[in-house]
Structure 1
Amino acid sequence: MNHFLIIGIIAGLCTALLNLSGYASGVVGLGFILVLISPLPLMIASLGWGTFAGLTAVISSGLVLAIIISR
């Protein structure tokens, strides 16, 4: 059984975590590298499990970032 939805949600959460941790530590040094590699889980999910997993990852990452930043 394929778990495209679960893979997409996990990849989206990883992307949001990388993005937020990069901005939290300042966009200098390691933070800059974290922000640059933040789309990597999206690309891995899209290439490995298909477009549905990639789309799910993008949507879940966007929702998580919007909820956390709006607080």
Structure 2
Amino acid sequence: MTNSHLDQYKTISSRIIELQKQLDSLRNNLSQSYDDENFTIGAVAKVKLEIKQQKLLLDKISEHLDFK
């Protein structure tokens, strides 16, 4: 385990949490307003895709870490 891997893990974990907050906010906007529904649905899909990509990166980095 290197500090670099741990730093990357922390950074990506923080990014995932930030993205999940954005997703919650977008979902709230979607349920409250149908004016920009298509925009919001597109934004939700984009954020979900980025979360998935960040989780894949996290999995790769976690292979190098030995959590105890």
What TM-score comes out, normalization by structure 2 length?
0.54
- Residue 11 (1) aligns with residue 19 (2): yes
| RMSD of Structure 2 on Structure 1 (CA) | 2.2
Task: Note the C-alpha offset of 1:19.
Answer: 1.1
Report % sequence identity: 6
Task: Note the C-alpha offset of 1:12.
Answer: 0.5
- What stretches of structure 1 of length at least 5 have no aligned partner? 54-71
Question: Any runs of at least 4 consecutive aligned residues in structure 1 with deviations exceeding 3 A, and if so which?
Answer: none
Ranked by relative contact order (alpha carbons within 8 Å, sequence separation 6 or more), the top structure is 2
**Residues 20 and 51, structure 2, Cα contact 8 Å, conserved in 1:** no
What TM-score comes out, normalization by structure 1 length?
0.53
Structure number with greater Rg is 2
CA distance in structure 1 between the partners assigned to 2:20 and 2:45 by the alignment: 9
